Amino acid sequence: MGTSWTATNRQSDRETALGLGLVAVDRRSREALELARKVAGCEVSVLLTGPSGVGKEVLARYIHALSARRNGPLVAVNCAAIPDTLLETTLFGHEKGAFTGAQRCQTGKFELAAGGTLLLDEISELPLALQAKLLRVLQEKVVERVGGHEAVALDARIIATSNRDLAQQVAQGAFREDLYYRINVFPIALAPLSERPADLLPLARSLLERHAAALRRAPPAFTPEAERLLVEQAWPGNVRELENAVQRALVLCEGEIITARHLGLRSRAEAMDRVDAMTAPGEWLGGDLKGAERALILSTLAAVKGSRKQAVARLGISERTLRYRLQQYRREGIDPDAAHGTAARALA
């Protein structure tokens, strides 16, 4: 599926990567994959960093699949998608009667990951109070359910991901320094798709094959014009945004060829014209940075017809960040749904 390998890679590793949909043609991707292969056999904590949508979770699954814990579960927790009030019980579980509404016991993710790997996705989104409890669990290697008194031995390897610079978060007081050093034993940085151009077309073809197989149809081929259009894009949403474009093209294409029209993407010249129009003095973007951010978020929501999942992929932010921004706009008297509808008409 377009994966490039050095002579030192084992056949079993190659099959594992292909089964997960990994594509590593670009030098930076190959280096990250080689680091992941080396650390897979160890029990140390791994921190995967990079913008949203670059494939951090896929690489985490690769590490798990090559580890001694491969026959155990891989339990993933998206720390950005779970409300703060539910995160503690999600991670650590709770006993019956621990709080109002706790009518039965709940096993936490740490216990569910016993014998396997616990993936803490977007760990930078954890509230500071919960970071302190997580640190204690990792240090003492025991976990207690909320409202419970019995300590359960921790038997899970920890892999964490973040789309933020955690060292910077520590400097700003938004992330605990002691927890940072606890999880940052073996860091692996994944580059954005725009910085590994050799991966783009092999990855697009790989995604096309996978989604075509799910639809039980032969994968169509990209025309040269379609491939040029793919290469021209900045892909701020990285692999996730590319996957959305491929899926959309596959739905629109009824034959054996995907054309530029099926992709529904702007050429570089069209994109620059749109940016010039949106940033002209006196236009709706406004002159302040906060207004520019709001306009970008609302115009992106308009472009994806209000789909928050697609919006976060394109914007390269977490679901929690988008949710916070929309709540902020409502407090300022702006209805996001009406506003991005107006933006959609303006961009049409």
Tokens 């791994």 belong to 46
Q: State the Cα–Cα distance between residues 40 and 57, nearest whole angstrom.
A: 14
| Last residue in a domain, options 230, 247, 265 | 265
Task: Estimate to the nearest angstrom the gap between the alpha carbon of 341 and the chain centroid.
Answer: 27
Q: State the Cα–Cα distance between residues 139 and 136, nearest whole angstrom.
A: 5
Does residue 2 form part of some domain?
no
* 134 & 227 share domain: no
| Last residue in a domain, options 237, 265, 293 | 265
Q: State the Cα–Cα distance between residues 1 and 76, nearest whole angstrom.
A: 25
- Helices within 220-265 (DSSP H only): 224-232, 238-252, 260-263
Q: Which two tokens stand for residue 342?
A: 């107006």
Does residue 3 form part of some domain?
no
* 27 & 98 share domain: yes
* 171 & 255 share domain: no
Q: What is the 3-state secondary structure (H, E, C) of 97-136?
A: CCCCCCCCCEECHHHHCCCEEEEEECHHHCCHHHHHHHHH
First-residue to last-residue Cα distance in the chain: 37
Q: How many residues does the chain have?
A: 348
Query: pLDDT value at position 268?
Result: 56
Domain count, the chain: 3
Provide the CATH number for the domain around residue 138. Answer: 3.40.50.300
| Last residue in a domain, options 165, 191, 217 | 191
Query: pLDDT value at position 152?
Result: 81
* 187 & 200 share domain: no
Q: State the Cα–Cα distance between residues 221 and 39, nearest whole angstrom.
A: 37
Q: Which two tokens stand for residue 3?
A: 């994966």
Q: Cβ distance 23 to 239 under 8 Å?
A: no
Q: Environment class of residue 106 by beta-carbon count within 10 Å: exposed (0-12), middle (13-18) or buried (19+)?
A: middle
* 253 & 312 share domain: no
* 27 & 135 share domain: yes
Residue 186, strand partner residues: 46
Query: pLDDT value at position 269?
Result: 54
Kindly report whether the global pTM for this prediction surpasses the value 0.75. Answer: no
Q: Cβ distance 121 to 80 under 8 Å?
A: yes
Does residue 59 form part of some domain?
yes
Q: State the Cα–Cα distance between residues 42 and 13, nearest whole angstrom.
A: 16
Does residue 214 form part of some domain?
yes
Q: State the Cα–Cα distance between residues 67 and 71, nearest whole angstrom.
A: 9
* 107 & 180 share domain: yes
* 187 & 229 share domain: no
Does residue 6 form part of some domain?
no
Query: pLDDT value at position 190?
Result: 95
Query: pLDDT value at position 144?
Result: 80
Provide the CATH number for the domain around residue 206. Answer: 1.10.8.60
Query: pLDDT value at position 19?
Result: 63
SS3 for 211? helix
Does residue 285 form part of some domain?
yes
* 100 & 161 share domain: yes
Does residue 172 form part of some domain?
yes
Q: What are phi and psi of 222, to 5 degrees?
A: -80, 135
Q: Cβ distance 204 to 246 under 8 Å?
A: yes
Task: Estimate to the nearest angstrom the gap between the alpha carbon of 31 and the chain centroid.
Answer: 20
* 52 & 157 share domain: yes
DSSP 8-state secondary structure symbol assigned to residue 336: H
Q: In Å, what is the CA distance from 216 to each residue of 2, 83, 263, 332? A: 21, 37, 20, 48
* 226 & 315 share domain: no
* 230 & 344 share domain: no
Task: Give the range of the structural domain holding residue 23, as residue numbers without chain letter.
Answer: 11-191
Q: Which residues of the chain have pLDDT under 70?
A: 1-19, 94, 97-103, 267-291, 338-348
